[in-house]
Structure 1
Amino acid sequence: MDKNSQTDKRSNILMAAVKVLTSKGYYSSTMDDIVDESKMSKGAIYHYFSSKKDVYLAVIDMWESQTQQLLAPAAKEESSAEAIKKLFKLLAKQLKIDGSFFNCLPTLWAIARHDEDFKKSMQKVYNRFQKLVELIILKGIKNKEFSNLRPENSKTSALSLILNFEGIFWFNIFNSKYVDAEKYIDEVSSYILNAYTLKKGDKHA
């Protein structure tokens, strides 16, 4: 079996697992559910994974890899303000293309509270995301774009931004009819950037 074929089969299993995790949750789902959803044989599934826990941990690894690739263009922006705007837009774009993974995030967070392996995997994802955001913020401070921020507060600022990014995910989970996701993105990113850049005595636009 060639490497591309193995990669495709593994990806098929993981995407099937995302659907099962979203619809049935972790504790109510089984390897048989993943087998049925993937349309592959049980032997093929067990060739790659020994348990449903292994499958779902691999889902987190896949998400981390895809997220890093997705957000990489934002880090290349010369302006930190533009980089933050792009982060919001890239996440929103992915949500529209395929929001299936965002739907199972609450389940993964819940598992991570009780399982150390899931906790470590989820923490790894968030640590890398936080580091990316923090580097963008530090660059903005250095370039004097973010006049209201200080280097020693960059971690707190990054965490605050990440909480706002997560607000985008809830649009997909609850299918909000009251607030447009694009409008939310524009307003929140503008509000945050105003807070970072407004000087004393200035007023919000």
Structure 2
Amino acid sequence: MTDREKIMKAAFRLASEKPFDKITLSEIAKEVDMHWSTVRRQFGNKQELKRILSKWQAENDLPQIDTRTQIIEASSNVFSEKGYARATLDEVAKKANLTKGAVYWHFSSKQDLFLALVDRNISHQLKQIPSIIKHILSSNDSVKALSKWFESQFTFVIDDENKQMLMLEFITSSREPIVKNKLNDAFSKILIGTELIVQEMQDKNLISNQIHPKSVSVLIQSIINGVIQTWIINPEQIQKETLVSDISHILWEGIKP
């Protein structure tokens, strides 16, 4: 079986279990034990992956995407293209091929929809934490495990232009008190989740106990967010494969036992 056949088989197996919009390139790569870039070459980009899986699900009479998810997915495109201030629910409805009434059935306002989008993106990262902890604690190569962690965080945003622009949109929209509170709560959860990973590593004597886990958590998330913002502004200056390895080695020198 060729690599393409293995990748397509894994992608369709996942598509038989969940909506196409919930399946990622990284998830397929994990299924076939290949690098994410190898999988991406087979599909071109995330949008093409969605198109192929959506078509396959339709041909096999499988449930595809629920209305609420459909609206949130469409809003992701609209908010990233137009920005929060200029986006309208009419545009979201058009993008989702739904009526404006259908959008209002699920979301009371543009702000309500935007906050749901924040929740979705943050929830995706939080769901990864248990598997990240397990992988790092079971790895015989801590630097490699850290590299995998950073890579998963970077690729989640870097490989999707919508997520790049959304990240900036989340930040610039934080002037609104309710959005600011939501972002504060969301990022606090990410910092706490990262702190748990660090604490677990310290408990297992995998890293130094002389550093407060919260400080390491802030440092790691600052690195991740800083690299992503640099990528958005000036991507040609970043060699992702080399950068991830270098960051992991530099960080490891500061936190190793």
The TM-score normalised by the length of structure 2 is 0.66
What's 2:239 paired with?
180
- Asked whether the 8 Å contact 1:70–1:90 carries over to 2, the reply is no
- Asked whether the 8 Å contact 1:16–1:38 carries over to 2, the reply is yes
* Structure 2, unpaired ranges of 5+: 1-18, 20-62
- Asked whether the 8 Å contact 2:115–2:179 carries over to 1, the reply is yes
- Give the distance between the partners of 1:163 and 1:129, measured in 2 at CA: 12
* Structure 1, unpaired ranges of 5+: 199-205
- Asked whether the 8 Å contact 2:129–2:194 carries over to 1, the reply is no
What are the equivalent positions in structure 2 for 1:190-205 lying under 5 Å apart?
190-197=249-256
> Are 2:134 and 1:76 aligned?
yes
CA RMSD of aligned residues (A): 2.5
Task: Please tell me the residue identity of whatever aligns with 1:128.
Answer: K
Shift of residue 130, structure 1, vs aligned partner: 0.9
Task: Please tell me the residue identity of whatever aligns with 2:185.
Answer: K
Count of residues paired in the alignment = 192
Q: 1:111 aligns with which of 149, 152, 173?
A: 173
What's 2:155 paired with?
93
What's 1:203 paired with?
none
What's 2:72 paired with?
14
Deviations 1:68-123 (A, max 9, x none): 223432121215846533321212332365452232111111211x2221122112
- Report SS of the residue matched to 1:106: helix
- Give the distance between the partners of 2:182 and 2:190, measured in 1 at CA: 13
Q: Structure 1: which 4+ aligned runs deviate by more than 4 Å? A: 4-7
> Are 2:199 and 1:141 aligned?
no
- Asked whether the 8 Å contact 1:146–1:196 carries over to 2, the reply is yes
What are the equivalent positions in structure 2 for 1:30-49 lying under 5 Å apart?
30-49=88-107
- Report SS of the residue matched to 2:236: coil
- Report SS of the residue matched to 1:76: helix
RCO comparison, higher one (Cα < 8 Å, 6+): 1
The TM-score normalised by the length of structure 1 is 0.82
Query: How much identity, in percent, do the aligned residues show?
Result: 22
